[in-house]
Structure formats: structure tokens, C-alpha cells
Amino acid sequence: MEDYSMQTLISAEVIAKRVHALGQEISQHYQGRKLCVIGVLKGSFIFMADLIRAIDIPCEVEFIGVSSYEGMQSTGHVRINYDLSVDIEGKDVLLVEDIIDTGSTIDYLLKTLQVRNPASLKIACLLSKPEAHQITLLIDYVGFEISREFVIGYGLDLDGLYRNLPDLKQMLPKA
Ligand code: IMP
Ligand code: MG
């Protein structure tokens, strides 16, 4: 890790404003309905906690656990290691992800959840790396678009660490 330095990419204040705006947009879209919000573990847990408090319609809170990353490279192999505790049939579902990189995790989750017949299924992600997408995706709510840099903090990890940093930080190779 001594070959990398950390630099703030998006501050906690900027994140808070954007997450609040996303919550309002989501509340307006689902006005008069209730929502089943599913956070993708572990990376989404802080975004999820802030986002649901910015949503002012009734929300059911669920989590699904997947793993696909080792170090700074996506392995492309996605597996569920923790499943939902409720049936989502007939429900309006919002899948909450920390970051969409190649798109393989979200693609796998969409396919896995769609066969359970939700009334609707949308995606909210804090970050998206459009240049890295290997699958054409329609992402309904995006916090910030970034380039290919590896980021940590606000829930995002590097090999399990740094999720507790309040800002989003970029890992930069040292010159
Ligand atoms: P994808 O399947 O390639 O889209 O990767 C999605 C998952 O990889 C995310 O849910 C994250 O857990 C992880 N990931 C992708 N990019 C980053 C990053 O820059 N920092 C930390 N985790 C990342
Ligand atoms: Mg991760």
C-alpha cells in the first residue's frame, strides 16, 4: 500500500447534498407508494443509511450480500453470500449499490431479482464508472459519475479496510 497515496475525491459535505437530492427525486417518483429498498452489502451500507433517511415515503429495508472483487480488480465472478429475508413479489424494489464498475454485479443482481417478480425494479448507485462498464445498463439514479480511478471511503473498501472514512478518496499511484 506504500505505493499509493490517498486524495479526497468527493467530500462528505458534497456527498450529503447529492444524497439528499437523490432521496427527494426518489420520493417524488414513488409518491403515494411504498418501497422495498435493497442495499448491496457491504459497500452500500453507509450510502443506504443516508439515502433512506432522505426518502420520505414508507420504506422496507433489506440487504443482499455479494462478492466479486479482490484487491483493485473486478474478478467478474459474482456470488450471493447473504440473501433477502422477504419475498419481493409485487413490490416496488430499489436496489442500492455503492459503485458500478464493469456492471457485472448489478447485471447479475437484476437478473436474480427480476425472476422473483417485483412490481418494479430500479437501481440507485452512489458512483458509476461509465468508461469501465462492459454491459449496457440503464441506471435510474446515479450520485456521481467518475473515471476509472479506484476509490475508498463512505462504505467502499480496499480489501475490507477504509469503509469508515467520511470522504470518498482516490488511490493514486505514487510517482
Ligand atoms: P462491478 O461488478 O465490476 O460493477 O463491480 C462492482 C463492485 O466492485 C462494487 O459493488 C464494489 O464493491 C466493487 N468496486 C468497484 N470499483 C470499486 C472502487 O473503486 N472501490 C471500491 N470498490 C469497488
Ligand atoms: Mg467492495
pTM for the model stands at 0.94
Ranges assigned E (strand) in 18-149? 35-41, 59-70, 73-82, 92-100, 120-128, 141-145
CA-CA distance, 63 to 37, in Å (whole number)?
8
Runs of H (alpha helix) within 40-123 = 45-53, 104-114
| Residue 73 pLDDT class (50, 70, 90 cuts) | low
Render pLDDT for 104-153 as a digit per residue (tens, 0 to 9). Answer: 999 999 999 999 999 999 999 999 999 999 999 999 999 999 999 999 99
Mutate to test the pocket of ligand 1, among 69, 126, 135 (most ligand atoms within 8 A of CB): 69
Number of neighbours of residue 172 by Cβ within 10 angstroms:
14
Span from the CA of 101 to the centroid of ligand 1 (angstroms): 5
Cell of 93: 424494489
The residue whose CA has the least distance to atom 19 of ligand 1 is: 150
Render pLDDT for 12-32 as a digit per residue (tens, 0 to 9). Answer: 999 999 999 999 999 999 999
Using alpha carbons only, how large is the chain's radius of gyration in Å?
Answer: 16
Whose cell is 466479486? That residue is: 68
101 is catalytic: yes
